């Protein structure tokens, strides 16, 4: 596919960055789909009147982001687009579907456990009382994207493993008649443990995005406490910031 690319030499923005931004936008729009080949660096450089090192730097920046991969004997290939999740009360499953990422889920744990102090405080239940624990690996285009650990109060809904692998947790809640109203959420980052790295196919110690969320229904009851980790090469949170009047 021939992309409409151009660079502005009068702009203070580096030429390689102009090119990488246009290529990234084409990947996010779906103009460049996963598996498609980017084309020859020499041809691209000649077409835009750029040096090969400039084009190579633009491509390498997208390789570093995990959007492109260089394959010997094949060329530079689109891997996937990064999912940019808005900060709103939505599920990862729904966000992936909306981004055209073909989500899949692998349930690792689906059991009842005694509530530890942190979980008990989040769900407003007695420490040591039974809560439901669900651990899932969320994939997109067959690649691990996030590890999700959720605790829910007992008797809230039927947490069928087959259903958890077929759809999102919030969809199951809504189907059970729960009205999700609000959430308290914190976002951070830390290094991957050996187990987390293996699950997400990242090196041990690699940076991971973290998200903790307590979700409430329309009666003010805590219905879910989530502790999630994400691969930053595949995932980002988007904020909209407003100036106070």
The token pair at 243 is 């100036």
Q: Which two tokens stand for residue 89?
A: 């009360």
Phi-psi region at 35: left, alpha or beta (left = phi > 0; alpha = psi -120 to 50): left
Helix, coil or strand: residue 197 = helix
Per the prediction, the chain carries an average pLDDT of 83
176 burial (CB, 10 Å; 0-12 / 13-18 / 19+) is exposed
**Residue 236 and residue 99: Cα distance in Å, rounded?**
13
Sequence length of the chain is 245
Could you tell me if 225 and 231 are in contact, meaning their C-beta atoms sit under 8 angstroms apart?
no
| Tens digits of residue pLDDT in 137-194 | 988 877 888 999 999 998 888 999 999 998 889 889 988 998 888 888 888 989 999 9
Is 193 strand, coil or helix? coil
Confidence of residue 243 (pLDDT cuts 50, 70, 90): low
Supply the pLDDT for residue 60. Answer: 87
Helix (H) or strand (E) holding 17: helix 15-29
What are the pLDDT digits (tens) for 33-43?
Answer: 777 887 778 88
């Amino acid at each position: 596919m021939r992309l409409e690319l151009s660079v502005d030499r009068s702009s203070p923005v580096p030429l390689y960055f102009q090119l990488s931004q246009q290529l990234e936008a084409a990947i996010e729009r779906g103009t460049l789909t996963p598996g498609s080949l980017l084309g020859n660096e020499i041809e691209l450089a000649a077409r835009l009147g750029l040096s090969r090192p400039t084009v190579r730097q633009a491509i390498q920046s997208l390789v570093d982001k995990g959007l492109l991969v260089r394959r010997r004997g094949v060329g530079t290939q689109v891997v996937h687009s990064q999912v940019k999740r808005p900060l709103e009360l939505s599920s990862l499953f729904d966000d992936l579907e909306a981004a055209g990422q073909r989500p899949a889920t692998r349930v690792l744990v689906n059991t009842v456990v005694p509530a530890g102090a942190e979980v008990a405080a989040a769900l407003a239940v007695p420490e040591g009382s039974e809560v439901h624990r669900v651990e899932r690996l969320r994939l997109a285009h067959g690649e691990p994207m996030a590890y999700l650990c959720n605790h829910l109060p007992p008797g809230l809904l039927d947490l069928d493993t087959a259903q958890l692998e077929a759809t999102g947790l919030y969809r199951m809640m809504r189907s059970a008649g729960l009205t999700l109203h609000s959430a308290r959420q914190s976002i951070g980052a830390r290094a991957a443990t050996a187990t987390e790295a293996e699950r997400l196919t990242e090196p041990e110690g690699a940076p991971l995005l973290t998200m903790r969320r307590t979700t409430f229904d329309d009666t003010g009851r805590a219905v879910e406490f989530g502790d999630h980790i994400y691969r930053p090469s595949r995932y980002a949170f988007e904020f909209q910031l407003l100036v106070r009047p």
